[in-house]
Amino acid sequence: MALGLACTWPALAAQIDYGVGLSATYESNMFRTTNDPHSELYESLMGAVNLREDNRDLSARALVQVEHRHFTKHTFPDDTTWYLDGAALWTIAPQRAAWTLEDTFREVQLSLTAPNTPSNRTKSNTFSTGPDLTFALDSVNSLVVGGRYGRFDIENSVTDNHRYGGYLRGLHLLSPQSKLTLNFEATRMFFEPQATPYPDVVQVNGYGRYESLYAGSGATLDLGRTHVKQYGGGQTLDGNIGRLTLLKAFGPDVTVRISYSDEISDTYSDLLRGVTVAGIPTDPGVVIIQGLATADLYHSKLGTAAFLNQGGRFQYTLLASGRKVNFATLEQDYEEKGGRLYLSWIHSGAIRFSGFFDYSKRDYLTLSVDPTTPDAPLRQDVDRNYLATLEYRLNQSLTVTVVGNLVRRDSTAPGISYVNRRAMLLLGYTFGHTFEIQSRR
């Protein structure tokens, strides 16, 4: 939607890049089973458009990609999926009125506990739009009023919902680099009746925020309370709002980032935050929250620490994270700890090597390995993901990529552990330099 807005706006000089890709991928265990694995060779055809516009009136970007996949051994039906990550900010009157639009279309998991196979994924769209009005009281104080309309749509699911929200912010500038705000937010959510016995939900947030950013370093701190009410006899949820981000730049290429959040959230809100991370994973220091096709709210505590070195020929990222999620009704509460190492070596202008290792341990707090046995131990999943990539640029537009991948899950639940080996050969053609052709499933 942001793409269409930017393309039809008068007098724009948008930068538009496009690309196509053709890949062949072999997987040794397509069903992610403990015993009797089935291999598969599938082919993918991809096409993508990347747009950026930045002028006085409009700042917009959108990455749109379509991918068709053909399974040669017919382990799964052939499928076609879209990927969209777009945002636009229309400045109606400078420092007075603006309109925001955000949209993301991607696949989400149907079940958190089942293996990540094509049958456990479905298409979803997350959309938000609305105005922001600023009223200056004096040189350092102002009021900001805004409204939002949002939708969360999931294919072949009853968990769709739409919502209306508004906010009021009182802003005080401490300096050109720092400010304080007092925030009041209210959102009313309407879920499909089949998704929950209480489809009418209101969430109210009140919190204070301190922001400071100077020369690539900064801090953001949110402290407050949240109140969630399910109308029609449902439960009431009350919780804290605590969000902290610390950013320290050591020169133009080295950054340390620490973040923590404690809040009541849902899949819609988590996916919308990911709109700012187009072309995943452009920033391997960002924790991408995997979407889940559920209408349930959950209390989330998430902490991350990242060290990024993105300069020179040798680039790397170290990331540690921990998360605890308590669902309001879904019996899949869990604690998760993990780490990530991303390495990239630019051998020359034509050759790049990269490596990736991801580790996570998820302990379920309410899900046992055998639900029929009262004293059965709780389930634990340990996932390891090793990936190596060689990228060879034949010319300015044509790139050949070779990928080797090993994914392993060790679970205390019977029949859940598996090992999958994957190899991929990708031929990509791009016009422009702002994105790379890759699978974004």
DSSP 8-state assignment for residue 3:
H
Rounded to 5 degrees, what angle do the CA atoms 328, 330, 331 make? Answer: 115
The token pair at 260 is 């923590």
DSSP for residue 215:
T
Q: What's the pLDDT at 360?
A: 95
Reduced to 3 states (helix: H, G, I; strand: E, B; else coil), residue 2 is: helix
* Coil, strand or helix at 176: coil
Dihedral, CA atoms, 65, 66, 71, 74, nearest 10 degrees? Answer: 130
> Residue 323 corresponds to which tokens in the numbers above?
């998360």
Phi, psi (rounded to 5 degrees) for 63: -115, 120
SS3 call for 274: helix
Between CA 377 and CA 366 the distance in angstroms is 10
Q: What is the mean pLDDT of each run of 10 residues along the chain (441 residues)?
A: 43 80 97 93 96 92 94 95 93 95 89 85 92 96 97 84 95 95 96 76 95 90 94 83 94 91 85 57 42 76 92 91 88 92 93 95 90 85 96 93 97 93 96 79 81
pLDDT of residue 175: 94
* Residue 140, pLDDT score: 96
CA-based nearest residue to 102, from 226, 241, 269, 261: 269
Token duo for residue 118: 């094509």
Q: Which of 210, 279, 266 is nearest to 65 (CA)?
A: 279
Structure token pair of residue 101:
């639009």
- The predicted pLDDT at position 437 comes to 87
308: nearest Cα among 334, 341, 267, 275: 341
Query: Residue 8: which H helix or E strand, with range?
Result: helix 2-8
Q: Over 388-426, what HEC string results?
A: EEEEEECCCCEEEEEEEEEEEEEECCCCCCEEEEEEEEE
Q: How far apart are CA 132 and CA 279, in angstroms?
A: 27
State both tokens at 285: 């220091």
What pLDDT is recorded for position 268?
80
Q: Cα-flanking dihedrals φ and ψ of residue 85, to 5°?
A: -135, 105
CATH number of 2-431: 2.40.170
Neighbours of 311 (CB within 10 A): 11
Q: Cα separation of 90 and 102, whole Å? A: 12
What are the domain boundaries of the chain?
Answer: 2-431
**What pLDDT score does 434 carry?**
64
Question: Residues 194-197: contacts with CB within 8 Å, 24+ apart?
Answer: 194/158, 195/158, 195/159, 195/160, 195/161, 195/295, 196/230, 196/234, 196/295, 196/296, 196/329, 197/232, 197/234
Strand-pairing partners, residue 181, are 171, 209
d(CA 188, CA 166): 9
3-class SS letters over 106-171: EEEECCCCCCCCHHHEEEEEEEEEEEEEEEECCCCEEEEEEEEEEEEEECCCCCCEEEEEEEEEEE
Burial class of 193 by CB neighbour count within 10 A (0 to 12, 13 to 18, 19+)? exposed
Q: H-helix or E-strand containing 272?
A: helix 267-273
State the CB neighbour count (10 A cutoff) for residue 166: 14
> Does residue 172 contact residue 181 with C-beta atoms inside 8 Å?
yes
Is the peptide bond preceding residue 252 cis, with omega within 30 degrees of 0?
no
